[in-house]
Structure 1
């Protein structure tokens, strides 16, 4: 009996340190994988993280390993997977009491949803994170979490364009970071100063903006996404000041970081400013190259947001070992998904009807302008001006012949054939060619310029230039109505798309045809399609 008691005591004494060692080992492996392996070998790190999940027994250990996997997918640029694992970790939070990890999971999801443009969902998790952050026992960790979450609230206000509202949140984040070791919080504090620089830039206070950008720059010791945004912001200020030399220096630094970064937001902002720089110094060729880079970054960003938009808790697949969700919860999720799909379909149908209505208004407007031009042409035909004289009248004056006024210049068959060719021309996109001219089109249609000019004057109620410009504006109006990506493009890119040689010429013709400036027209379309309007803003 005494022997058995001794054995029991020995096992009890040795069990406690063994269990403690196991727990320490789990946390240690998590930290080592996150800090040391992530930058070097993501597939290797994923294998380690998966084995950690398989060996996890407690809900908190499962949460830690799921967030580790989510962070790995974030580093790999796989935001859909990072959100799936983050949401799986979130589903286990009701089983743990650790305020620090509850805050960390909510903060991770807030950041991920912001990065893919789902700002309302980001705000939801930010507020949940702030609620749990106040319950963290460690003062340093409590302050750091509160600072980062206040940054998220500031980002939310900035994305909505409420820049003055963002300032108190950023200042609050800095106060929280100051409670800790300043050196430890250099990077988060630099991010807050960069945000203030951007906010004051948008508020057109360029002196204060520059001061905050330089403060942020002084806190960073190596290249990173934040430093890229700082250089881009300083370059943007120099663009506003038309200081092209210094703008070039800053933008080259920003481009170097952007090209090696995974951040599409950084790439998009930098390429936009470099495009503005080359437009400013009159290098249209290089401006067009960076316009293409800007569009690619925007489209990649848009594609990523569209891929994520449909994700909600009910479509995030659970990890193979964490499928402990009740039948009632699954049923509720299915009902929620069905309702969500129904709402999306309803808004899509409503949006299509709105666009169809708007398109009809524009068509009617274009026809009205065409009829007004025709009336003006008839009214001025009896005067001494030669701008609206038909081809056969010019020939009579030039040749001194005996043709009667309005005598046909060609046979009826030739005229009919030319009209058919013009109809085919209108259905294509050749009119967007920058080399388009009367002689160019005549060669394409295998006719001469007199015949072509005559038919356009007689049947299209316009001279050649007006006729082509209307087709181009009609084309870009269709794009703006039917493809919301075009509303995010710079006006110079829209001008280039439909063959105009400059931003100003395009804007002038656009307003002549539609009675709206391009920016006002796009703003009107965005207002019509507000439920589906999610995008990042750039330095203007």
Structure 2
């Protein structure tokens, strides 16, 4: 009772303050709807009265609050954006940088949480940062730091992001145990729990699994059965399920994932829901390849189709579906999910190409410059060091961007080659069975068909791997002359002899690299000899010309695909 006394006194003073003319009506109006649940449209008659009063009195602080309430209680995402724009407009009419920063941050959270449009969200966060970087409002400062950390985590800068989330936790946690007003304690605990959740994601991707598990247990203990934090508990349960899966504890993983699914789904967080479905599918697959797993992988695709958003962690979802239908012999489904994988890569790459340089240029570099300015006042020598670091940082950023774009191009070409490989045998077969009827004019039909049958045997027996094979040698082996053989290959295969021979050899070695792991260990010279090409450089050039990717890049990507699987974070707002 003694601990509650400050709250009672605070409430009495608060009520006495708002009983004065001017503020009493705002307070009375808010008490009529502030206990409604989020997205409840019943609040709007009172909110509109609140907004109208603030407009009439040109009280921009209260007007911003009214629009923020409109965001919170609106069930429509489109209307949330409209209210957010109105809040920004009202904030700009005030002289408060904090108020403008709050309005921009609010809009960024809508883009991030309700739409998963990270590019738009980051733009708003950076605007909020510009207005609030010198703020004395600690809650606002750390709320912005949290969201910048979320974008860094999404881009894979886990170490940098983890340090940001640790700072947030150090700020929020003590306030959850202080004598602040219950509403402030609630907001700070939300900030603490979400920062803890993001730190778990960073730990998991940094390989700090013990730290991640300890943080998960802390999160579950902190949320308990408190209905105010049911969504946050859902996220911790999901983290627990993922941890169980990685320990091969599949049934335990399913139990935790199933418990987490409902609060996440109820809140409309489709990004986290797709992660939940993905790991449920993998856990079912771990239970003796349970066929139910495929239905969950398909649910991930359904969410992607609806929202045109997917987290990088879920790219493997399509690899699993493609391999499943490859084993089933269902080429139609193989092609569909290959197409979906290409779409997913396009969505992911657009975000990364935009976000990575922007956050470095407009946040990291600006932060460094601000620190540089401060240090210059203390020590002139420090300015040279900072300048050198900035130049080095910018140089590294440029190199990373160039490398990233090059890697994305190689990845795209690899995926296209993999798609071609799926239908390679059928395409090759159809090409081999092309008949003389398809040419406009040529030698006697029976002779052509006989020669085509010999060429088919030549292909099937892999005789094209002979070293030093020329059109004259092959003509002799097939019992014909080189001019006649050249004409038939040109008419029926659609290419000249050299191109025909090169395609056979490169397609042959490509199939071996796809199907037999041992060939991935061979050097380029050995692979060249295996398919009958004498020169290492000639082999590399032909491989690139036909497949669109260098053999060294292809082998690297193939090894990575077989041996490694990446995990990326998903996000949740404060």
Give the structure-1-normalised TM-score. Answer: 0.60
Q: Do residues 519 (structure 1) and 563 (structure 2) align?
A: no
- 1: CA distance, partners of 2:280 / 2:335: 22
CA contact (8 A) 2:230 2:263 kept: yes
SS at match of 2:358: coil
Shift in alpha-carbon separation, 1:428–1:201, aligned structure 2, 3 A: same
Shift in alpha-carbon separation, 1:261–1:107, aligned structure 2, 3 A: same
- 2: CA distance, partners of 1:426 / 1:42: 62
- 2: CA distance, partners of 1:214 / 1:61: 41
Shift in alpha-carbon separation, 1:327–1:53, aligned structure 2, 3 A: farther
CA contact (8 A) 2:325 2:333 kept: yes
Q: Do residues 303 (structure 1) and 347 (structure 2) align?
A: no
Q: Do residues 71 (structure 1) and 124 (structure 2) align?
A: no
Of 83, 88, 93 in structure 1, the residue corresponding to residue 122 of structure 2 is 83
- 1: CA distance, partners of 2:127 / 2:349: 25
Q: Do residues 30 (structure 1) and 62 (structure 2) align?
A: no
Task: State the 1:85 CA deviation.
Answer: 2.4
Shift in alpha-carbon separation, 1:68–1:184, aligned structure 2, 3 A: same
Partner of residue 449, structure 2: none
Alignment of 1:65-464 (within 5 A): 65-74=103-112, 75-136=114-175, 137=180, 138-178=184-224, 182-220=226-264, 222=266, 224-225=269-270, 226-265=272-311, 268=315, 270-279=317-326, 281-312=328-359, 314-315=361-362, 338-345=391-398, 421-425=496-500, 461=532
- 2: CA distance, partners of 1:202 / 1:253: 21
- 2: CA distance, partners of 1:141 / 1:351: 38
Report the aligned-residue RMSD.
5.2
- 2: CA distance, partners of 1:121 / 1:58: 31
CA contact (8 A) 1:129 1:149 kept: yes
- 2: CA distance, partners of 1:304 / 1:24: 36
- 2: CA distance, partners of 1:350 / 1:264: 23
Q: Do residues 60 (structure 1) and 98 (structure 2) align?
A: yes
1:300-340 superposed Cα distances (whole Å, 9 cap, x missing partner) = 212311221112364369xxxxxxx99958x9999876443
Partner of residue 524, structure 2: none
Task: State the 1:197 CA deviation.
Answer: 1.1
- 1: CA distance, partners of 2:103 / 2:347: 29
- 2: CA distance, partners of 1:221 / 1:534: 25
1:193-228 superposed Cα distances (whole Å, 9 cap, x missing partner) = 112212221232212211211221354563542333
Question: Structure 1 regions of 5+ residues with no counterpart?
Answer: 1-12, 318-324, 355-386, 393-402, 437-457, 488-517, 527-532
SS at match of 2:354: helix
CA contact (8 A) 2:325 2:334 kept: yes
Give the structure-2-normalised TM-score. Answer: 0.57
Shift in alpha-carbon separation, 1:161–1:297, aligned structure 2, 3 A: farther
1:452-479 superposed Cα distances (whole Å, 9 cap, x missing partner) = xxxxxx997489xxx9999769966945
- 1: CA distance, partners of 2:499 / 2:214: 59
Shift in alpha-carbon separation, 1:344–1:68, aligned structure 2, 3 A: closer
Per mean C-alpha deviation after superposition, the further-off stretch among 99-108 and 215-224 is 215-224
1:216-265 superposed Cα distances (whole Å, 9 cap, x missing partner) = 13545635423332222222222233545422443444443343235311
CA contact (8 A) 1:33 1:48 kept: no
- 1: CA distance, partners of 2:99 / 2:25: 17
- 2: CA distance, partners of 1:263 / 1:41: 21
Per mean C-alpha deviation after superposition, the further-off stretch among 208-217 and 338-347 is 338-347
CA contact (8 A) 1:267 1:297 kept: no
Partner of residue 44, structure 1: 82
CA contact (8 A) 1:53 1:66 kept: no
Shift in alpha-carbon separation, 1:340–1:429, aligned structure 2, 3 A: farther
- 2: CA distance, partners of 1:81 / 1:519: 36
Task: State the 1:66 CA deviation.
Answer: 1.5
1:26-57 superposed Cα distances (whole Å, 9 cap, x missing partner) = 22322322441761346634531331331232
- 2: CA distance, partners of 1:217 / 1:351: 34
- 2: CA distance, partners of 1:537 / 1:64: 26
CA contact (8 A) 2:544 2:550 kept: no
Partner of residue 450, structure 1: none
Task: State the 1:480 CA deviation.
Answer: 6.9
Aligned length: 409
CA contact (8 A) 1:87 1:313 kept: no
Shift in alpha-carbon separation, 1:298–1:257, aligned structure 2, 3 A: same
Shift in alpha-carbon separation, 1:24–1:301, aligned structure 2, 3 A: same
Question: Structure 2 regions of 5+ residues with no counterpart?
Answer: 1-19, 28-53, 365-369, 377-382, 408-460, 467-472, 512-528
CA contact (8 A) 2:216 2:240 kept: yes
